[in-house]
A and B are shown apart, each in its own frame.
Chain A
Amino acid sequence: QQQVKQSPQSLIVQKGGISIINCAYENTAFDYFPWYQQFPGKGPALLIAIRPDVSEKKEGRFTISFNKSAKQFSLHIMDSQPGDSATYFCAASWENQAGTALIFGKGTTLSVSS
């Protein structure tokens, strides 16, 4: 019940295209769903996050779509750029519960070709 399943494992997109990464979770008690971006040699950095009371959140070229009934959420990167090439992790958590962890997916390596 603690798992977050992420797909695809890797993704190649042409510059200007749309990158889509999907995640599914099992525990309906999760109330916070962030996406992290990680470049080689760096720690994960928060990209965008959503809470289950909304179905979509957009920040610039990045959009999270959230389907509570299906227990799925996805990251869409519009107009993908070579600088977006990185590993992306979805995660789930209980936002305000002390001592709890972020449960991460296994990651998606995105390569944007120019």
Chain B
Amino acid sequence: ETGVTQSPTHLIKTRGQQVTLRCSSQSGHNTVSWYQQALGQGPQFIFQYYREEENGRGNFPPRFSGLQFPNYSSELNVNALELDDSALYLCAIGQGSGYTFGSGTRLTVV
């Protein structure tokens, strides 16, 4: 519906494992951002990529990393998963008034 596709929609990981989440858009926009939304909270900015380079980062540790590919799809990687990493992870394309969010990936860390 939104033109932003995230995969997988749900997954369960064990503490200490690593996870990769993916995002793509029909429009192939050159700016992509990732947000973490804990249960009952507003989304929190993780980082933003513009033309394959990270150009902004929120208050998240280095074990949260990302990539943007030449086709402008993107990945969010989280190493050494902690229980508190359980959340909805949202990808958004565009910036400012042009933000469009995907439906997110629900990550559960057990």
Question: Measuring CB to CB, which residues of chain A are less than 8 angstroms from any residue of chain B?
Answer: 6, 32, 34, 41-46, 49, 89, 91, 93-96, 98-107
Contact = CB atoms under 8 A, between A and B. Distances in A.
Interface string B78-110: 000000000000101001110111111000000
Looking at chain A's contact residues, the main secondary structure is: loop
Return the 7 tightest CB-CB contacts between A and B, nearest first: A99-B56, A104-B42, A101-B45, A43-B101, A99-B55, A95-B96, A43-B103
B42 A107 contact: yes
Interface residues of B, number: 27
A101 B40 contact: no
A32 to B, nearest CB: 6
B10 to A, nearest CB: 10
Contact of B90 (A43, A100, A105): A43
Contacts of B97: 32, 34, 46, 49, 95
A43 B2 contact: yes
A69 to B, nearest CB: 24
A102 B33 CA distance: 10
B40 A99 contact: no
A90 to B, nearest CB: 9
A41 B42 contact: no
B37 to A, nearest CB: 8
Contact of B41 (A41, A42, A43, A106): A106
Contacts of B43: 44, 89, 102, 104
